Amino acid sequence: MDDGLQSWGRYPTAQQSLLRLRDRFAPLPAFDGHALPRGNGRSYGDVCLDDGGTLLDVRGLDRFIDFDPATGVLRCEAGMLLGTILELLVPRGWFLPVVPGTCFVTVGGAIANDVHGKNHHAVGSFSCHVQCFELLRSDGTRRVCSLNENADWFAATVGGLGLTGLITWVELQLRPVAGAWFDTETRRFDRLDDFFELSETSARSFEYTVAWVDCTTRGSALGRGVFSRANHCAAPPTAKLPREGRLRMPVVSPFSLVNGPTLRVFNWQHFHRAPKTLQQSPQHYRPWLFPLDGIRDWNRMYGPRGFLQYQCVLPPAVARDGMRELLERIAASGQGSFLAVLKQFGAIVSPGLLSFPRPGTTLALDFANRGRVTFELLDRLDDIVVAAGGAVYPAKDARMSGERFRTYFPAWRQFEAFIDPAFSSGFWRRVMQ
Amino acid sequence: MNGRRILIVGATSAIAEATARLYAVRGDALFLVARDARRVQAVAEDLRVRGAASVQTGTLDVADFAAHADTIESACAALGGLDIVLIAHGTLPDQSRCESDTDLALREFAINGTATIALASRIARKLEAQGSGTLAVISSVAGDRGRASNYLYGSAKAAVSAYLSGLRQRLSAPDINVLTIKPGFVDTPMTAAFRKGALWAKPEQIARGIVRAIDRRRGVVYLPWFWRPIMFTIRAIPESLFRRIRL
């Protein structure tokens, strides 16, 4: 049973108590010291941890409140899982406008981290589609926040890492779809430059684009990968529903299954199995959008020390050179993982003071926690990101220095004024040092 | 099987809410009864979005016996009959406080035992008059044998289980069923203070078991199933030994 003591990266660990909320009308329960709202614990580092404090578990706030089938406006409690919304409303012709790589996140968590998806270039981040929400503060006050009402609280809370108060309910604008399927096109590419060209030519006619990148290759094969793009579509005539993922990593592996040799073999195979020219195929939304959700508890494969995610964004002007530098550095280290993702962000401005998505190119990948060598590598990657004027994603971070955070997110000064005096997190205390 | 008419008493309890969601997705019509008007309203809104044909609500404090009849009447009238009734209200009394405070013990017995029996007897008459329907009541494995740690709660649940057993015999018409539900440890707000181990189940898991048992017209169901052999063993321990152990 989930005790809520770890984040998805299984690093770091924290000691805290858990209070479960089930009634959105009730005041916050009493707690000693500081507290932090907690959704489904799918962020990777310490933004969802509060060592020495109390986690306010909102998973019991999982009720729908209202859905208007004419307009696609959905109101629900903040602990609602994105997967539950899709399960219920896709058959009725509506889809979430933005989903991250897993459907096991709560609506509140999606706002607190202002998550993004493979369609960022077309529709922006999750919070761009949030009409309004209610924010409950530890002093008992409640505010309905939107772009028009309490707009300053809206901007602070969106991407605000749960620190500005507890979101009780949310109103979202969904988008109509013809069905649960995607028309996908996939091909491999041999060089990093090809990724940029494919992204550019696909951006207008494809709502979703993403690339897997081989982070082990250097020299002429540096930045090779597999590019995918897709649009929503109705069920194809021959559609077979995907089997429900029943695979599961049953125990924590005693050592990381992701290491130099397994990584090279997997990546070589993954690249060479991909088609050389664009190949079309219809795919159900579940395997296309949430491939890893098919393997429960996959985070256990990184062994007892867990793993660190690293996601950064580099501004457009320096993205090509910067990405090349990052990938060279990672390949030379022999670390990295299968799960390396490249994506072009679009120009739509994220509404939060601390929102991560911004124009440019984003790279995300996992590193098995090998201790000092891993932390040193990530510090070197940060050097490149800082020099390029980029940023690192707090939702996936467990180690960036406070100085770096404050450089990446200069609006932290304005943000500070909105923090609930009774709320804190491991992440926030770390980056304020 | 859908479009059925379902009454749930104690509808804001975690197990009842999880069960109601399964019926809502099937497109059934529900009447929810709970103590707190605002919370039962929140559950009703949720069930409507999930697909329930209709959801109506009523408020009732089960300790107010005089109000039982009206509540059942209004549910019957609103639904136009009862296909399934689930009685799910309950508290988990503090055993040691019940030992030092007899009034508290009697109040807790009234909520978990007498009130449940009173509701069951009124609903049984309704089902008998209709000639059809299922009465499903959440009892507990705790009612199978009194144990030092919670025998006030256990004795109330034992009364409920024995009452339902007799009621099931009496109403042995082909279209009427009485189901006794005996959950083990369930991770709900009622048990928030307990440390959870391997035997603990989620309310959603219990809810699926309840719906399955109602569909299959079972008489007694242990949820999860492994509580049946566990309780068989506990009941089989001779009293001479039982009195010297702590469970």
Q: Residues of B with CB below 8 A from A88's CB?
A: 49-51
Pairing of strands B5-9, B29-34: parallel
Residue-range domains of chain A with CATH: 181-408 (3.30.70.2520)
Residue of B nearest to A23 (CA): B39
pLDDT value at residue A245: 64
Which SS3 state, helix, strand or coil, does residue B136 take? Answer: strand
pLDDT value at residue A2: 44
pLDDT (mean) for A24-31: 96
Whether B204 contacts chain A with CB within 8 A: no
- What's the distance, CA A295 to chain centroid? 17
Which SS3 state, helix, strand or coil, does residue B141 take? Answer: helix
Angle of the B115-130 helix axis to the B68-79 helix axis, nearest 10: 40
B247 in a structural domain: no
Nearest to B49 among A1, A23, A67 (CB): A67
> In the β-sheet with B220-223, what is the strand arrangement from edge to edge?
B54-59, B29-34, B5-9, B84-87, B133-138, B176-183, B220-223
Nearest to B49 among A1, A24, A66 (CB): A66
* Interface predicted TM-score (ipTM): 0.93
Q: How many domains does chain B have?
A: 1
* A295 Cα to chain B: minimum distance (Å): 21
Most A-contacting residue of B12, B22, B45, B185 (CB-CB within 10 A), to test interface: B45
CA separation for the pair A78, A158 (Å, rounded)? 13
* B204 Cα to chain A: minimum distance (Å): 12
Contact flag B187-A1 (C-beta cutoff 8 Å)? yes
Let me know: does A195 contact A226? Beta carbons within 8 Å. Answer: no
Of A115-124, B45-54, B94-103, B185-194, the least confident: B185-194
B90 in a structural domain: yes
- Given a cut of 60, whether residue A1 has pLDDT beyond it is no
pLDDT in tens, B90-149: 999 999 999 999 999 999 999 999 999 999 999 999 999 999 999 999 999 999 999 999
Domain residues for B56?
5-242
Q: Residue A319 class from Cβ within 10 Å (0-12 exposed, 13-18 middle, 19+ buried)?
A: buried
Nearest to B45 among A1, A23, A64 (CB): A64
pLDDT value at residue A339: 84
Residue of A nearest to B193 (CA): A19
CA separation for the pair A122, A201 (Å, rounded)? 13
As annotated, the active-site residues of B are 153
pLDDT value at residue B111: 97
B61 in a structural domain: yes
Q: Residue A396 class from Cβ within 10 Å (0-12 exposed, 13-18 middle, 19+ buried)?
A: buried
Nearest to A63 among B42, B51, B189 (CB): B42
**B194: CATH:** 3.40.50.720
Angle A16-A22-A26 from CA coordinates, rounded to 5°: 100
Strand partners, A279: A186
> In the β-sheet with A35-38, what is the strand arrangement from edge to edge?
A17-20, A54-57, A35-38
Contact flag B46-A25 (C-beta cutoff 8 Å)? no
Cβ neighbours, 10 Å, residue A211? 26
Rg (CA), chain A: 21
B73 in a structural domain: yes
Contact flag B46-A88 (C-beta cutoff 8 Å)? no
- Given a cut of 60, whether residue B54 has pLDDT beyond it is yes
pLDDT (mean) for A131-138: 98
Contact flag B51-A66 (C-beta cutoff 8 Å)? no
Q: Residues of B with CB below 8 A from A60's CB?
A: 14, 189
CA separation for the pair A271, A258 (Å, rounded)? 17
Residue A89: both structure tokens together: 């409303």
Contact flag A23-B46 (C-beta cutoff 8 Å)? no
DSSP A321-369: HHHHHHHHHHHHHT---S-EEEEEE-SPPPSSTT----SEEEEEEEEE-
